[in-house]
Amino acid sequence: MARSRTPSPDVARRSAGKSSPTSKTSKGWLKEHFDDQYVQRSWQEGYRSRASYKLLELDDKDRLLTPGMTVIDLGAAPGGWSQVAAEKVGSEGVVIASDILEMDALAGVDFIQGDFTEESVLEEILSTLGERPVDLVMSDMAPNMSGMAAIDQPQAMYLVELALDLAGQTLRPGGTFLAKVFQGEGFDDYLKALRGAFTRVVTRKPSASRARSREVYLLAQGFRG
């Protein structure tokens, strides 16, 4: 059943697609960021962000992307995942990306800027897709983190629930869903829902995902339709 796209009162509106450091810790965060091996590799190899290496590792392990596929990328900015997807699906494939933040144009990617919690953004994604069945829906969405689990976790779960709703509307039978999920309240119920809708569900923690982060990636394959 599709969920309401209006957050409950305890779920603040999503702002930026990725959380940012506080002023007290920004210097340390920036040093860690620029020293990070995946950040440095992204500069050297021409990828938009270190997140590209998460998807590259997942694709290497689970063969997610093949030429000609249709892919939806939620929480796409600055384009690390979309860039990898466009390279993998090639000129015969389709990549539709969306984020509340701006994203510089990428060849082979249709970008829709807007807040995915708003009905108008969903409608634009569906309009761009047309009647084409989707092979892979992937979500790297995350709310701005306050550091308070009672606020952050409901926000994060709300976004991945909306992503799953979109997958349910658009995936072809046998299709794949990939989402970043934060472990905490609601995680087990969400995992149960995935297992009911897909034939195979596994948890992945790519090497480029920082060890201290509660994020994991849930990969659900074999959409039951």
- Residues with a catalytic annotation lie at 180
Question: What is the rounded distance in angstroms from the CA atom of residue 22 to the CA atom of residue 35?
Answer: 19
DSSP state of 131: T
CB 218 within 8 A of CB 201: yes
Q: Is 99 annotated as a binding residue?
A: yes
79 belongs to an annotated ligand binding site: yes
Burial letters 71-82, b for 16+ CB under 10 A, else e: bbbbbbbbbbbb
Q: How many CB atoms lie within 10 A of CB 49?
A: 19
Whether residue 62 is annotated as binding a ligand: the answer is: no
Dist. CA 81–CA 47, nearest whole Å? 9
Q: Is the dihedral of CA 4, 217, 171, 51 positive or negative?
A: positive
Does the annotation place 68 within a ligand binding site? no
189 is in an annotated binding site: no
Q: List, as residue ranges, the binding site.
A: 79, 81, 99, 115, 140
Q: List, as residue ranges, the binding site for S-adenosyl-L-methionine.
A: 79, 81, 99, 115, 140
